């Protein structure tokens, strides 16, 4: 499963004559380009993205990267240049989110999908790239900005901040328990919150502990407290948990732990039976 993410945030918008951002429809694309890219790098990335000649562009600044990530990661990880870029393509309504990346080293696609769902992003195909390998910590705000433009809606600042924090905390947890385990745990806790929002800290802690137990993941007391604090913060924000749950259902095949669930095993068993029947048919043809 591809790993994901990158470094870019939206600063100034470049308008294309004759088209407004709010006019975007299914299949239309918005590109974000780091302001410190050379002209040659910009051209190469646009080619890589297969961007149309009149694509709408947002320039991303390093200052904004520090603005949204300074609370959660060391300055050295954010760096001094904005070079990562992305292409967000509007997809058909109710089809969910997809993410693909190139040159991303720390944050996975599952982590990124989780954070985007928290921010309320939906129905988009997202490609994140950079001319050199990067950690991917600063990508979230830029894509959220691109989504706001494509959907013609504003996501509250506190939710954007929370989504950035979630992404970084999940990546840190991934260093301890494994990236796939961390993403699956966050997704499972969200599913439980979508079903029945915990009323207090004790209930939230219990939900996290049960999710970890179900996924056979061991958390330290510090990790448990950190996750409890994070989800308590998310719980108190104006997040549409029904939508989060719906987006998770659409993207559950992206989470590796799903394949270990009863439903996932059932799908794999069906595929095995299908291919076995094909093999039997081929053998009988030559008998």
Q: What is the pLDDT of residue 257?
A: 57
Write the DSSP symbol of residue 54.
T
Helix locations, 239-261, DSSP H: 241-251
Torsion of the alpha carbons at 243, 249, 255 and 258, rounded to the nearest 10? 140
- Tens of pLDDT, residues 128-142: 999 999 888 878 878
Q: What is the pLDDT of residue 45?
A: 95
Q: What is the pLDDT of residue 9?
A: 34
- Tens of pLDDT, residues 71-126: 888 888 888 888 888 999 999 988 989 999 899 888 888 898 999 999 999 889 99
Helix locations, 153-200, DSSP H: 157-177, 179-195
Buried b (16+ CB within 10 A) or exposed e, 208-243: beebbeebebebeeebeeebbebbeebbeeebebee
Largest CA distance in the chain: 70
Residue 227 to residues 64, 98, 104, 166, 212, Cα–Cα distance (Å): 26, 25, 24, 9, 11
Of the candidates 245, 154, 234, 150, which has an alpha carbon nearest to the alpha carbon of residue 198? 234
Residue 198 has pLDDT above 80, yes or no: yes
Q: What is the pLDDT of residue 11?
A: 25
Task: Please provide the average confidence, as pLDDT, over all residues in the chain.
Answer: 81
- Tens of pLDDT, residues 16-41: 333 334 457 899 999 998 889 999 99
């Amino acid at each position: 499963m591809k790993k994901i993410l990158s470094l870019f945030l939206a600063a100034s918008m470049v308008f294309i004559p004759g088209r407004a951002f709010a006019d975007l429809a299914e299949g239309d694309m918005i590109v974000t380009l780091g302001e410190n890219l050379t002209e040659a790098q910009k051209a190469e990335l646009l080619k890589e993205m297969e961007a149309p000649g009149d694509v709408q562009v947002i320039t991303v600044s390093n200052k904004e990267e520090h603005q949204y990530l300074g609370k959660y990661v060391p300055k050295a990880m954010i760096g001094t240049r904005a070079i990562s870029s992305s292409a967000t393509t509007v997809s058909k309504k109710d089809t969910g989110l997809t993410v693909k990346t190139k040159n991303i080293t720390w944050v996975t696609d599952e982590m990124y999908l989780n954070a985007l769902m928290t921010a309320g992003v939906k129905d988009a195909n997202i490609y994140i790239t950079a001319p050199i390998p990067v950690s991917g910590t600063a990508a979230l705000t830029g894509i959220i900005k691109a989504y706001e433009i494509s959907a013609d809606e504003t996501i509250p600042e506190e939710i954007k901040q929370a989504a950035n924090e979630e992404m970084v905390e999940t990546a840190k947890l991934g260093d301890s328990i494994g990236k796939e385990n961390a993403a699956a745990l966050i997704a499972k806790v969200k599913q439980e919150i979508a079903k029945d929002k915990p009323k207090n800290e004790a209930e939230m802690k219990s939900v996290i502990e049960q999710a970890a137990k179900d996924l056979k993941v061991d958390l330290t007391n510090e990790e448990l407290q950190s996750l409890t604090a994070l989800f308590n913060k998310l719980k108190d924000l104006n997040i549409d948990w029904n939508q989060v749950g719906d987006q998770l259902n659409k993207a559950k095949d992206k989470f590796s732990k799903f394949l270990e669930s009863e439903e996932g095993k059932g799908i794999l068993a069906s595929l095995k039976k299908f291919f076995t029947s094909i093999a039997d048919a081929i053998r009988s043809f030559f008998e």
